[in-house]
């Protein structure tokens, strides 16, 4: 299908300047030693570190992303960051609608969609996160929940070149409880099929769908090898160079 895997590190609210720079430089150095790596590498530091990290990895091939952005271009939005500000700081990607933002900040599908449209307008690639809770999974609602979130969050104008989906079962995030390959493939295939209804099967076949939720060096290879899994959105294991690199290497 020609989908180059994306291995994205979501650092969340972790790291001061020294740690973040060491981590970013460590990842960049690994990539320098292996220019033919089979996947694309992305690090998403907290806002405070984006500019310094972008400087540190400039020219290395490691991309930098934000963890959120506002849907508006500018204005009276204290504490928020616009898509253009992320680009100005060195970002080419932004994570949107992570379950922690949906929970902590009440983000809805409609808001995530608006943010993705704003991100595209600023030339950022959007990583749109969706995923079911354990209660929803136990109630047999997994596929329906992901289809609904996808339909509500997918931006008009979204295509393979500007939008990535991250399937992150909420029960697997930060819990050490990873989806089985069967669980992951089932949902990824359902997401791609639903996406085909929105943008057409040919374009949906080109869109990268990442798995996220307790992806580690010891489980990454079997997940990434699945037909509809095109990389990972990695939290905890992205905070250690060796773990992040081991996951990247498991792309083949």
Site residues (vs ligand PGA, CB under 6 A): 10, 168, 173-174, 212-215, 233-237
Q: Is 9 helix (H, G, I), strand (E, B) or coil?
A: strand
Q: Let me know if 77 is a catalytic residue.
A: no
Q: Is 141 helix (H, G, I), strand (E, B) or coil?
A: coil
Q: In terms of CB distance, is 173 or 184 closer to ligand PGA? A: 173
The minimum distance between CB 100 and ligand PGA, in angstroms, equals 7
Q: State the catalytic residue, choosing from 40, 70, 98, 188.
A: 98
Question: What is d(CA 204, CA 24) in angstroms, rounded to the nearest whole number?
Answer: 32
The minimum distance between CB 235 and ligand PGA, in angstroms, equals 2
The minimum distance between CB 20 and ligand PGA, in angstroms, equals 17
The minimum distance between CB 91 and ligand PGA, in angstroms, equals 17
Q: State the catalytic residue, choosing from 100, 132, 168, 194.
A: 168
Q: In terms of CB distance, is 158 or 212 closer to ligand PGA? A: 212
Q: In terms of CB distance, is 95 or 207 closer to ligand PGA? A: 95
- Tokens representing 220 are 């990454």
| Contact (Cβ atoms closer than 8 angstroms) between residue 239 and residue 16 | no
Q: Let me know if 34 is a catalytic residue.
A: no
Residues 6 or more apart whose Cβ sits within 8 Å of residue 162: 120, 125, 126
Q: DSSP character for 18? A: H
Q: In terms of CB distance, is 72 or 249 closer to ligand PGA? A: 249
Using Cβ positions, the residue closest to ligand PGA within the complex turns out to be 235
Helices (H), the chain: 17-32, 47-57, 83-89, 99-104, 109-121, 134-138, 142-153, 181-199, 201-204, 220-224, 241-249
**Residues labelled catalytic:** 98, 168
């Amino acid at each position: 299908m020609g989908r180059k895997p994306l291995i994205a590190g979501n650092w969340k609210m972790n790291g001061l300047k020294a740690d973040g720079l060491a981590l970013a430089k460590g990842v960049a150095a690994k990539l320098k030693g292996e220019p033919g790596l089979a996947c694309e590498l992305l690090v998403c530091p907290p806002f405070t570190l984006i500019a310094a990290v972008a400087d540190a990895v400039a020219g290395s091939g490691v991309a930098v992303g934000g963890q959120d952005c506002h849907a508006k271009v500018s204005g009276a939005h204290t504490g928020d960051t616009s898509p253009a500000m992320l680009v100005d700081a060195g970002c080419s990607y932004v994570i949107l609608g992570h379950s922690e933002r949906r929970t902590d900040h009440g983000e809805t599908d409609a808001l995530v969609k608006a943010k993705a449209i704003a991100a595209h307008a600023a030339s950022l690639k959007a990583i749109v996160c969706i995923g079911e809770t354990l209660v929803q999974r136990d109630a047999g609602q997994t596929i329906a929940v992901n289809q609904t979130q996808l339909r509500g969050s997918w931006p008009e104008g979204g295509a393979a070149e500007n939008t990535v989906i991250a399937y992150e079962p909420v029960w697997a995030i930060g819990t050490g409880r990873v989806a089985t390959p069967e669980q992951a493939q089932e949902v990824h295939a359902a997401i791609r099929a639903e996406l085909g209804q929105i943008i057409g099967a040919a374009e949906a076949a080109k869109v990268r769908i990442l798995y996220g939720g307790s992806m580690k060096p010891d489980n990454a290879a079997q997940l990434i090898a699945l037909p509809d899994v095109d990389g990972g959105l990695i939290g905890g294991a992205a905070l250690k160079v060796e773990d992040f690199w081991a996951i990247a290497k498991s792309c083949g």
